[in-house]
Chain A
Protein backbone atom coordinates (compact mmCIF):
# COMPACT_ATOMS: atom_id res chain seq x y z
CA UNK A 1 0.00 0.00 0.00
CA UNK A 2 1.37 3.36 -1.03
CA UNK A 3 2.21 5.49 2.01
CA UNK A 4 3.44 8.64 0.26
CA UNK A 5 1.30 9.42 -2.74
CA UNK A 6 2.13 12.00 -5.34
CA UNK A 7 -0.28 13.27 -7.95
CA UNK A 8 -0.11 13.45 -10.82
CA UNK A 9 2.70 11.10 -11.90
CA UNK A 10 3.25 13.19 -15.02
CA UNK A 11 2.46 16.88 -15.41
CA UNK A 12 2.83 19.00 -18.52
CA UNK A 13 2.47 22.75 -18.33
CA UNK A 14 3.22 25.71 -20.52
CA UNK A 15 6.09 28.10 -20.00
CA UNK A 16 4.99 30.64 -17.39
CA UNK A 17 1.72 28.91 -16.49
CA UNK A 18 1.37 28.23 -12.74
CA UNK A 19 1.32 24.59 -11.73
CA UNK A 20 0.67 22.76 -8.45
CA UNK A 21 1.97 19.35 -7.49
CA UNK A 22 0.45 17.45 -4.60
CA UNK A 23 1.65 14.97 -2.02
CA UNK A 24 -0.28 13.07 0.61
CA UNK A 25 0.83 10.64 3.30
CA UNK A 26 -0.83 8.00 5.43
CA UNK A 27 2.08 7.67 7.86
CA UNK A 28 1.15 10.59 10.13
CA UNK A 29 4.73 11.82 9.87
CA UNK A 30 5.42 15.29 11.20
CA UNK A 31 7.96 16.34 8.54
CA UNK A 32 7.35 16.59 4.81
CA UNK A 33 10.03 17.45 2.24
CA UNK A 34 10.11 18.48 -1.40
CA UNK A 35 13.12 17.56 -3.55
CA UNK A 36 13.91 18.45 -7.14
CA UNK A 37 15.79 15.91 -9.25
CA UNK A 38 16.99 16.83 -12.71
CA UNK A 39 18.06 14.18 -15.18
CA UNK A 40 21.04 12.13 -13.98
CA UNK A 41 21.54 14.42 -10.99
CA UNK A 42 21.19 14.06 -7.25
CA UNK A 43 17.88 15.03 -5.65
CA UNK A 44 18.14 18.53 -4.20
CA UNK A 45 16.11 19.69 -1.21
CA UNK A 46 13.86 22.65 -1.96
CA UNK A 47 12.10 23.05 1.40
CA UNK A 48 10.49 21.17 4.22
CA UNK A 49 7.70 21.51 6.74
CA UNK A 50 8.39 20.50 10.32
CA UNK A 51 4.79 20.29 11.56
CA UNK A 52 3.48 23.70 10.47
CA UNK A 53 6.85 25.40 10.36
CA UNK A 54 8.01 26.12 6.83
CA UNK A 55 11.75 25.99 6.10
CA UNK A 56 13.14 27.20 2.80
CA UNK A 57 16.59 26.20 1.54
CA UNK A 58 18.74 29.25 0.88
CA UNK A 59 19.14 28.57 -2.83
CA UNK A 60 15.52 27.62 -3.59
CA UNK A 61 14.20 30.06 -6.21
CA UNK A 62 11.39 32.43 -5.19
CA UNK A 63 9.36 30.90 -8.00
CA UNK A 64 8.80 27.85 -5.78
CA UNK A 65 6.40 27.89 -2.86
CA UNK A 66 4.75 25.31 -0.68
CA UNK A 67 1.62 24.84 1.41
CA UNK A 68 0.80 22.32 4.08
CA UNK A 69 -2.88 22.69 5.04
CA UNK A 70 -2.82 19.68 7.38
CA UNK A 71 -0.58 16.82 8.48
CA UNK A 72 -1.45 14.62 5.53
CA UNK A 73 -1.09 16.98 2.59
CA UNK A 74 1.63 19.16 1.16
CA UNK A 75 1.63 21.11 -2.11
CA UNK A 76 4.38 22.48 -4.30
CA UNK A 77 3.45 25.58 -6.29
CA UNK A 78 5.56 26.81 -9.17
CA UNK A 79 4.37 30.31 -9.96
CA UNK A 80 5.94 30.83 -13.39
CA UNK A 81 7.63 27.65 -14.61
CA UNK A 82 10.64 28.05 -16.84
CA UNK A 83 12.31 25.46 -19.05
CA UNK A 84 14.91 24.91 -16.34
CA UNK A 85 12.22 23.73 -13.93
CA UNK A 86 11.57 20.57 -15.90
CA UNK A 87 12.49 17.79 -13.49
CA UNK A 88 11.25 15.01 -11.26
CA UNK A 89 9.77 16.38 -8.05
CA UNK A 90 9.97 14.04 -5.08
CA UNK A 91 7.99 14.28 -1.87
CA UNK A 92 9.26 12.58 1.27
CA UNK A 93 8.17 12.26 4.88
CA UNK A 94 9.77 11.37 8.17
CA UNK A 95 8.91 11.25 11.84
CA UNK A 96 11.19 13.26 14.07
CA UNK A 97 11.28 13.11 17.84
CA UNK A 98 11.25 9.80 19.63
CA UNK A 99 13.92 7.29 20.40
CA UNK A 100 15.72 6.81 17.13
CA UNK A 101 16.28 8.17 13.67
CA UNK A 102 13.85 6.90 11.11
CA UNK A 103 14.39 6.63 7.36
CA UNK A 104 12.66 9.02 5.03
CA UNK A 105 9.86 7.60 2.92
CA UNK A 106 9.55 8.80 -0.65
CA UNK A 107 6.69 8.95 -3.10
CA UNK A 108 7.04 7.88 -6.73
CA UNK A 109 7.52 11.47 -7.84
CA UNK A 110 5.89 13.79 -10.35
CA UNK A 111 7.73 14.30 -13.61
CA UNK A 112 7.15 17.88 -14.76
CA UNK A 113 7.57 18.87 -18.39
CA UNK A 114 7.48 22.45 -19.65
CA UNK A 115 6.32 23.26 -23.16
Chain B
Protein backbone atom coordinates (compact mmCIF):
# COMPACT_ATOMS: atom_id res chain seq x y z
CA UNK B 1 0.00 0.00 0.00
CA UNK B 2 1.32 3.41 -1.01
CA UNK B 3 2.31 5.66 1.90
CA UNK B 4 3.26 9.30 1.53
CA UNK B 5 5.24 11.13 4.22
CA UNK B 6 5.96 14.83 4.52
CA UNK B 7 8.66 16.26 6.74
CA UNK B 8 8.63 18.58 8.58
CA UNK B 9 5.01 18.75 9.75
CA UNK B 10 5.44 22.46 10.45
CA UNK B 11 7.98 25.08 9.43
CA UNK B 12 8.39 28.72 10.34
CA UNK B 13 10.77 30.98 8.42
CA UNK B 14 11.45 34.72 8.15
CA UNK B 15 10.31 36.53 5.03
CA UNK B 16 12.73 36.37 2.11
CA UNK B 17 14.23 33.02 2.99
CA UNK B 18 14.45 30.18 0.48
CA UNK B 19 13.04 26.91 1.74
CA UNK B 20 12.55 23.26 0.82
CA UNK B 21 9.65 21.01 1.68
CA UNK B 22 10.13 17.26 1.50
CA UNK B 23 7.87 14.43 0.39
CA UNK B 24 8.63 10.72 0.27
CA UNK B 25 6.58 7.80 -1.01
CA UNK B 26 6.97 4.06 -0.68
CA UNK B 27 5.92 2.75 -4.11
CA UNK B 28 7.74 4.20 -7.11
CA UNK B 29 5.10 2.97 -9.60
CA UNK B 30 3.36 6.32 -9.84
CA UNK B 31 1.89 8.14 -12.83
CA UNK B 32 2.82 11.55 -11.54
CA UNK B 33 3.11 13.64 -8.40
CA UNK B 34 1.21 16.77 -7.54
CA UNK B 35 1.89 19.55 -5.04
CA UNK B 36 -1.04 21.44 -3.56
CA UNK B 37 -1.56 24.42 -1.34
CA UNK B 38 -4.36 24.53 1.22
CA UNK B 39 -5.36 27.68 3.07
CA UNK B 40 -7.22 27.28 6.40
CA UNK B 41 -10.78 26.06 5.88
CA UNK B 42 -10.38 25.95 2.12
CA UNK B 43 -10.02 23.38 -0.60
CA UNK B 44 -6.85 22.48 -2.45
CA UNK B 45 -5.12 24.59 -5.07
CA UNK B 46 -2.87 22.71 -7.48
CA UNK B 47 0.62 24.23 -7.64
CA UNK B 48 2.67 21.88 -9.76
CA UNK B 49 2.26 18.52 -11.43
CA UNK B 50 5.33 16.47 -12.32
CA UNK B 51 4.89 13.66 -14.80
CA UNK B 52 6.60 10.39 -13.89
CA UNK B 53 9.04 10.88 -16.78
CA UNK B 54 10.06 14.37 -15.62
CA UNK B 55 12.67 15.39 -13.09
CA UNK B 56 11.37 18.83 -12.22
CA UNK B 57 8.74 21.45 -12.88
CA UNK B 58 8.82 25.18 -12.28
CA UNK B 59 6.18 27.85 -11.81
CA UNK B 60 7.27 31.32 -10.74
CA UNK B 61 9.05 31.07 -7.38
CA UNK B 62 8.19 27.40 -7.04
CA UNK B 63 10.28 24.48 -8.24
CA UNK B 64 9.35 20.86 -7.67
CA UNK B 65 11.68 17.92 -8.25
CA UNK B 66 10.95 14.23 -8.54
CA UNK B 67 13.26 11.25 -8.01
CA UNK B 68 11.09 8.21 -8.61
CA UNK B 69 13.79 5.66 -7.93
CA UNK B 70 14.39 6.96 -4.42
CA UNK B 71 10.73 7.79 -3.81
CA UNK B 72 11.30 11.49 -3.12
CA UNK B 73 10.06 14.87 -4.18
CA UNK B 74 10.94 18.34 -2.99
CA UNK B 75 9.16 21.66 -3.31
CA UNK B 76 11.52 24.63 -3.36
CA UNK B 77 10.09 28.07 -2.60
CA UNK B 78 12.32 31.01 -3.40
CA UNK B 79 12.20 34.36 -1.62
CA UNK B 80 9.32 33.37 0.65
CA UNK B 81 6.55 35.88 1.42
CA UNK B 82 3.95 36.05 4.22
CA UNK B 83 1.33 35.23 1.58
CA UNK B 84 2.99 31.85 1.11
CA UNK B 85 1.80 30.83 4.58
CA UNK B 86 -0.40 27.77 4.13
CA UNK B 87 -0.31 23.99 4.33
CA UNK B 88 1.49 22.32 1.44
CA UNK B 89 0.43 18.83 0.49
CA UNK B 90 2.07 16.42 -1.89
CA UNK B 91 0.12 13.62 -3.51
CA UNK B 92 1.14 10.73 -5.71
CA UNK B 93 -1.08 9.69 -8.55
CA UNK B 94 -1.71 6.05 -9.28
CA UNK B 95 -4.47 3.72 -10.35
CA UNK B 96 -6.59 3.53 -13.48
CA UNK B 97 -8.58 6.60 -12.44
CA UNK B 98 -5.49 8.50 -11.32
CA UNK B 99 -6.47 8.49 -7.66
CA UNK B 100 -4.43 10.66 -5.31
CA UNK B 101 -2.72 9.45 -2.16
CA UNK B 102 -1.79 12.40 0.01
CA UNK B 103 0.80 13.17 2.62
CA UNK B 104 -0.31 14.90 5.81
CA UNK B 105 1.18 18.18 4.70
CA UNK B 106 3.69 20.73 5.92
CA UNK B 107 2.24 23.79 7.61
CA UNK B 108 4.36 26.76 6.53
CA UNK B 109 4.42 30.11 8.31
CA UNK B 110 6.39 32.96 6.77
CA UNK B 111 7.01 35.70 9.31
CA UNK B 112 7.06 39.33 8.13
Interface of A is mostly: strand
Contacts of A111 in B (CB 8 A): 41
SS class of chain B's interface: helix, strand, loop or mixed?
strand
Q: Is A109 an interface residue (CB 8 A)?
A: yes
- Point out the residues of chain A lying under 8 angstroms from B43, CB to CB: 4, 6, 90, 106-109
Please indicate the chain A residues that have their CB under 8 angstroms from the CB of B42 in the complex. 108-109
* CB contact list, B76-112 vs A, under 8 A: 89, 93, 96-105
**Chain A residues, Cβ within 8 Å of B45:** 106
Chain B residues closer than 8 Å to A108, beta-carbon distance: 42-43
B102 to chain A, nearest CB (A): 4
Q: Is A73 an interface residue (CB 8 A)?
A: no
Closest residue of A by beta carbon distance from B104: A42
A104 and B104 within 8 A (CB): no
Residues of B within 8 A of A103 (CB): 34, 46, 49
CA distance A106 to B91 in the complex (A): 13
Once the chains are docked, how many angstroms separate the CA of A111 from the CA of B97?
A: 25
Count, chain A residues at interface, CB 8 A: 30
Task: Find out whether the CB atom of A94 lies under 8 angstroms from the CB atom of B98.
Answer: yes
Size of B's binding interface in residues, CB under 8 A = 25
A4, A48, A100, A101 interface centre (most CB from chain B within 10 Å):
A101
Task: Give residues 1-59 of B contacting A (CB, 8 Å).
Answer: 4, 31-32, 34, 36, 41-46, 49, 51
In the complex, A31 Cα to B43 Cα: how many Å?
A: 18
**Contact status of A96 and B44, CB under 8 A, knowing A101-B51, A101-B93:** no
**Which residue in A40, A42, A96, A109 is a CB contact (below 8 Å) of B4?**
A42
Interchain Cβ contacts under 8 Å between A and B, 10 examples = A43-B89, A43-B100, A94-B98, A100-B51, A104-B46, A104-B98, A106-B36, A106-B44, A106-B46, A109-B42
Contact surface of B with A, Cβ cutoff 8 Å:
4, 31-32, 34, 36, 41-46, 49, 51, 89, 93, 96-105
